[in-house]
Chain A
Amino acid sequence: MMDVFAQAFINVIQPASLGLMFLGVGVGIIFGSIPGLSAAMAIALFLPMTFSMGPEAGMTLLVSLYIGAISGGLISAILLNIPGTPSSISTCFDGAPMAARGEAAKALGLGIVFSFLGGLLSFIALIFIAPPLAQLTLKFSPIEYFAVSIFALTMIAALSSGSMIKGLLSGMLGLMFSTVGLAPIDGSARFTLSIDSLSSGFDLLAVLIGLFAVTEVLQGVERTLSDGNAKVIALQKIRGFGFSMAEFLAQKWNLLRSSLIGIFIGILPGIGGSTSGILAYIAAKKQSKHPEKFGTGIPDGIVASETANNATIGGALVPLLALGIPGDGVTAMMLGGFMIHGLTPGPLLFKTNADFVYGIFAACLVANVIMLMLEFFGLRIYVKLLKIPKYLLMPVIIVLCTVGAFSVNSQVFNVWCILLFGVIGYLMVKGGLPIAPAILGFILGPLVETNLRRGLMLTEGNFLGFLERPIALTFLVVAVLALVVPLFSAYTQHRRSTALKPA
């Protein structure tokens, strides 16, 4: 293992690879720092560019974008009091008050260093958790894969923000779109409406670009009219990282606790960086000797939020690499990156392409260091970029989306698809439906159907045979509980509130 990892590390620090990582992290930070742009959008735009690259270079670029974008959110959270990405919501709570009283440099320094440390600990966890988990999943049959896919889909729909019914409906919509094209197993055409271009189904890239990037641009167009000129807080001269060694050491337990929260939340499908940041913030407040100071601008709040949201990255990569199951929208994009190069993440990848998997681990560690360097030395440039008006930025992103969709197979049909899915995504947002379950449904649909049909062939058409396998049974039971428990608690809450009302 160490030999493969050392070789992967040497490959990653070659000039061409380092150049790609600087580009990815740099662009990622820009997308993360500008409110309205996101990590998912950055990856959606750059996915088509990885066509002309090898799989190692492509994944290196995507991982770098992911790390840069999640961390970049802290810049606007502290200087504008607007989170650049949802992951940085809780960074605003203490970052913005610190900046307002002239401690912006210290707040940014804390955010940058603890983002780095949170990321570092999560990548170490990824390196130690993913390979044994992949080893375990080697024994999975189609029945277990079916159960895991159902589990991931149910969890993301049930745990997505807002109503659970809407989360599930969004997942169903994704499943419906996934059935367009050739059916698995026998290859019959379904739902093609006699349109030749639909015979191979909707292209994953067009769906991803449409639902994430175009939807966000349409929302951005709506928002630009109501947006005032955001006031960016000026930066003072920064010495070092802006905080002392004693202040750093005072955060050691906060660092450890928040990292563990971030990694754990990342591994669970359906819960993202925003939740882990808030949970770590609440945990830090509960454990603090001075909880009343939280929200007034204290370092502990920034440390908890930024450590946890970056630690989520390594955690989220565990199910993606070990099982081939994405846990959220961004990792769904990463799965798209694998698929473009004909690779399927999961246990077999560890066996057949171990050098490639360890290359991703090495890229995560190096990109994390690059993130620390770029955010520290390039901070003033990113602050200037915050001032670019969104009404100039969004249309340019649309043109980039068009190029991305067209480059899939040089057909305008895919560009029409991004418009279609962009409008669908926008209407979903307006209807209060979350987007991520639809993406997961679209990606997991063929996996669910193929493994169900293969599994039923194994059990000779007996559905109960799925419940005779312990791993499959566990995942299916957890999936059912994820649906039933919130419904039951809502029902008891409703009963309690009606019982309390005077007759």
Chain B
Amino acid sequence: MNVHRYRDLIVGVIFLTGSIGYYLLSFQTPKSEIPGDIGNYFIPHLIALVSGLLSLMLIASSYLALRQTEAKPQKPAESDADTAKELSAKTRYLPVVGTVALLFAYIYALEPVGFILASATYLFLQFNISAPADRRDAKAQFRYALTSIVAAIAINSFFVNIFDVMLPQGLLD
């Protein structure tokens, strides 16, 4: 499936689901006791209603646009190009997914391991995820390791000593 082609439809469905969920959740809010007040429901209900309507408009307009595109005869070469595009998309998004996973681990380790150690490890691994394939040799690894350690220590010293920020020290405490 070409995700890009169905992008607006997907966005519309996600927002519609979110709007319904938000509307249902708003009923957990306690009522306002202040006389003359419209209450705590009003704005959430209005937001849910408007975003629900906008989602339906987006779904309808993207559905109509899709029908118009499908009505036109498709060139066979186009589908090959689409497959090639999707393959390159997979290689493009892999570093993003890797970065999010790495960030998850970094934040999780921040307090128990400490800022300096967690940041230096994160930086070293992130450099390896983000760097182009031809820049991951032994010489580059040494440079990444050095940069990671120096950057983590420098940022820690700068914020702790100059801005009095209390960063977690973890294992180095």
Instruction: Please tell me if the beta carbons of A221 and B40 are within 8 angstroms of each other in the complex.
Output: no
Instruction: Please tell me if the beta carbons of A176 and B30 are within 8 angstroms of each other in the complex.
Output: no
Q: Which residue of B lies closest to A463 (CB)?
A: B38
User: Which residue, of B10, B14, B51, has the highest number of chain A Cβ atoms within 10 A?
Assistant: B51
Any A CB within 8 A of the CB of B123 = yes
Complex CA–CA separation, A339 to B11 (angstroms): 33
- What residues on A are CB-neighbors of B123 within 8 Å? 395-396, 399
Contacting residues of chain A (168-198) with chain B, CB-CB under 8 angstroms? 168-169, 172-173, 175-176, 179, 183, 185-186, 188-191
Any A CB within 8 A of the CB of B44 = yes
Number of A-B contacts (CB under 8 A): 177
- Given A183-B40, A225-B92, A398-B103, is A431 in contact with B10 using a C-beta cutoff of 8 Å? yes
Instruction: Please tell me if the beta carbons of B130 and A419 are within 8 angstroms of each other in the complex.
Output: no
B139 smallest CB distance to A (angstroms): 14
- Given A412-B107, A416-B107, is A186 in contact with B47 using a C-beta cutoff of 8 Å? no
Any A CB within 8 A of the CB of B171 = no
A202 smallest CB distance to B (angstroms): 15
Instruction: Please tell me if the beta carbons of B167 and A403 are within 8 angstroms of each other in the complex.
Output: yes
Instruction: Please tell me if the beta carbons of A457 and B54 are within 8 angstroms of each other in the complex.
Output: no
B22 smallest CB distance to A (angstroms): 6
Set A432, A433, A453: member contacting B38, Cβ < 8 A: A453
- What residues on B are CB-neighbors of A432 within 8 Å? 7-8, 11
Any A CB within 8 A of the CB of B159 = yes
Any A CB within 8 A of the CB of B131 = yes
A22 smallest CB distance to B (angstroms): 16
Instruction: Please tell me if the beta carbons of A456 and B152 are within 8 angstroms of each other in the complex.
Output: no
Any B CB within 8 A of the CB of A402 = yes
Contacting residues of chain B (27-41) with chain A, CB-CB under 8 angstroms? 28-30, 32-34, 36-38, 40
Instruction: Please tell me if the beta carbons of B163 and A179 are within 8 angstroms of each other in the complex.
Output: no
Complex CA–CA separation, A457 to B42 (angstroms): 14
- What residues on A are CB-neighbors of B55 within 8 Å? 169
B39 smallest CB distance to A (angstroms): 8
Complex CA–CA separation, A431 to B43 (angstroms): 26
15 sampled A-B residue pairs with Cβ under 8 A: A51-B163, A165-B58, A172-B50, A173-B18, A175-B43, A179-B44, A188-B30, A222-B96, A224-B131, A225-B92, A395-B123, A398-B122, A412-B107, A419-B107, A452-B43
B85 smallest CB distance to A (angstroms): 13
A143 smallest CB distance to B (angstroms): 14
Interface of B, secondary structure class, is helix
Complex CA–CA separation, A173 to B127 (angstroms): 33
- What residues on B are CB-neighbors of A410 within 8 Å? 166
A176 smallest CB distance to B (angstroms): 6
Complex CA–CA separation, A199 to B122 (angstroms): 31
Q: Which residue of B lies closest to A405 (CB)?
A: B107
**Per-position binary interface string of chain B over residues 141-173, scored 1 when its CB falls under 8 Å from any chain A CB and 0 otherwise:** 000000100011001000100011111100000
Instruction: Please tell me if the beta carbons of A186 and B159 are within 8 angstroms of each other in the complex.
Output: no
Any B CB within 8 A of the CB of A426 = yes
| Known pairs A410-B166, A432-B7 / 14 extra A-B pairs, C-beta < 8 Å | A52-B164, A172-B54, A173-B15, A183-B32, A186-B34, A189-B30, A222-B93, A399-B119, A403-B167, A407-B165, A412-B107, A415-B107, A430-B7, A453-B42
Complex CA–CA separation, A203 to B44 (angstroms): 19
Instruction: Please tell me if the beta carbons of A402 and B107 are within 8 angstroms of each other in the complex.
Output: yes
Complex CA–CA separation, A390 to B126 (angstroms): 12
